[in-house]
Structure 1
């Protein structure tokens, strides 16, 4: 046994010496170290190839409108298109939609997702996206939000919401322009139409947006108000990527996050898919004619808050203004189901046309997203049309 071990050690030493000599002969290209291997990106060229990142999002190549090769390099935080051969006419559909998503797409559900989820059960759906653009392509950078009357995990959904962060070239959304809207604190051109498979509503930014954090539910609520969805429908997935018509190599999603918080009407807080959800907080004191419950979801440097205003009186409230005070260091960046101003300090949320009435014993909800310089703290001093709430 001893002689065998000695022989093995001699063989190992000889192999190491040979490798070292080879390294010297090749100009020192081989270095013998014990350092761990670096994290390798994933290259996908398969037409519908996918992979998972961060244990919670799916990245897909999704080349469906051309037979030409498309490849993406998937990183730990997003992806970049590395090859985008071929082109298609700009008056038709794009050639692909490489993207990253949370939810379910043709039965492929992202790990741990709580989608599909009924819109009425979602208190907030905060998301963040960063894009990197190139100048030699015809494309749009689109955030897709899919809605369906059923909890559908396969096939095409009923309504597609497209948020165009940027577009280059002579391309336009499905259908025709029907006006403009202020959603999540930004102004958008609004287009509606049908692509032959589903209804589409598109919100087009007047100038390029490279990164933004917002609440997906703000766009769902606007779509409901325009009759293209209902509150009992389901959010099935949220996706961020590019639709290229010509070229596209170099386009990249550099970061993406998505959470869907459930149970917005519950004072016990909701279920979160990322971030931190706190229990409901009741603010103010005084008259029992109204009660306010805040259900927050917070992360480092930011938060969302879903606010439920309950009418505990004996008569309906027609048109409401909810006053409250934000803690120092908090600033509101967007809101849904109400007009909220100013962005800090003593704030007033004003009802919209479709939710202006709060019947006796009923309630209305709105929400907002903001930034904070410290730990999240709940707003205080709630008043409904000048009367203090409990």
Structure 2
């Protein structure tokens, strides 16, 4: 799904510690720390009523932790926000040249309201150019991996294939078109995956072999976070990391 990436995220230093947590409150406020940029991305708030903050807890090198606290109402089928971290280093490699693409993500809901509608997801962007901005004219594909989906929400498009085995889990693949790119979403068929430790390469290999994605596509951007539809929750990421080598 489309999400705005601020062109001018402000940086408050390369290292953030829990004792100096940074709270983001603005619609598109971002903060760079370590290898990542945390953004309180509220691109869809015109479709709802509520508020959101994102807190950078700590960051050191390739590992980051953060939390997002939100309340949203109205238009339950519309995404209000995608609070996320963007990797500043895992990009610029063609799918055919990927040699290593490891990631870990440990998260939990500190609180969640009854009937919460939200996902916890990777949002990765590819294009024909080596560099490009997520959700822009340079994007050819948006590739999502849903580790959680609450309240019966669905990705863009329609169900394409069920029962895909990748990275030790089972996934259902959804496909659709948004703006100028194609969205391909792997949705966990195993329920919430709160501790994800995997190699991402097989997901891209599957799309090349089965969905016509060109192996010459470049990884342009990798985001991870939560899409909030409606409800109240505090999502905490205790540890996240991703790296990409070609």
- Counterpart of 1:149 in structure 2 is 128
Are 2:74 and 1:97 equivalent residues in the alignment? no
8 Å CA contact 1:88–1:95 kept in 2: the answer is no
- Tell whether 2:198 aligns with 1:222: no
Query: Given that residues 131 and 252 in structure 1 are in contact (C-alpha distance below 8 angstroms), is that contact kept between their aligned partners in structure 2?
Result: yes
Task: State the TM-score, normalized to the length of structure 1.
Answer: 0.52
TM-align CA RMSD: 1.9
> Are positions 1:126 and 2:102 aligned together?
yes
Superposed CA deviations along residues 166-216 of structure 1, whole A, max 9, x for unmatched, are 111131111111122111222111111112342111111121110111112
Aligned mates of 1:169, 1:259 — CA distance in 2: 31
Q: Is the 8 A contact 1:96 1:244 kept in 2?
A: yes
Aligned residue in 2 for 1:333: none
Q: Does 1:65 align with 2:50?
A: no
Counterparts of 1:38 and 1:221, CA distance in 2: 38
CA distance in 1, matches of 2:211, 2:198: 22
Q: CA deviation at 1:38?
A: 7.6
* Larger RCO (alpha carbons 8 Å, 6+ apart): 2
Deviation of 1:146 after TM superposition, in Å, equals 1.3
State the Cα deviation string for residues 90-132 of structure 1 (Å, max 9, x = none). 33x3111101121xxxxxxx2xx25222122220110111121
Q: Are positions 1:194 and 2:177 aligned together? A: yes
- The partner residue of 1:160 within 108, 132, 142 is 142
Cα displacement (A) at 1:88: 4.2
Aligned counterpart in structure 2 of residue 257 of structure 1, from 229, 233, 241: 241
Please give the secondary structure, in 2, of the residue aligned with 1:245.
strand
Name the larger-Rg structure. 1
| Counterparts in 2 of 1:228 and 1:196: CA distance versus 1, 3 Å | farther
Q: Which has the higher strand share?
A: 2
- How far apart are the structure 2 equivalents of 1:38 and 1:151? 35
Structure 2 CA distance for partners of 1:235 and 1:88, relative to 1, 3 Å:
farther
Q: What corresponds to 1:135 in structure 2?
A: 112
CA contact (8 A) 1:120 1:232 kept: yes
1:18-54 C-alpha deviation (Å, 9 max, x unpaired): xxxxxxxxxxxxxxxxxxx98210010111111123x
Q: Distance in 2 between matches of 1:194 and 1:168?
A: 22
Aligned residues: 214
1:203 to 183, 186, 189: 186
Aligned pairs for 1:213-292 within 5 A:
213-262=197-246
In the alignment, which residue of structure 2 is the partner of 1:78?
Answer: 65
2:151 corresponds in structure 1 to 169
Superposition TM-score, scaled by structure 2 size: 0.80
Q: Distance in 2 between matches of 1:214 and 1:120?
A: 19
**Structure 2 unaligned blocks of 5 or more:** 1-16, 59-63
Cα distance, 1:86 vs. partner? 3.1
Q: Secondary structure at the match of 2:45?
A: coil
Partners of 2:126 and 2:175 in 1: CA distance: 15
Give 4+ residue runs of structure 1 displaced > 3 Å after superposition.
none
- The question of whether the paired residues in 2 share the 8 Å contact of 1:78 and 1:100 is answered with no
- Residue equivalent to 1:45: 25
Q: CA offsets, 1:331-351, max 9 Å, x none?
A: xxxxxxxxxxxxxxxxxxxxx
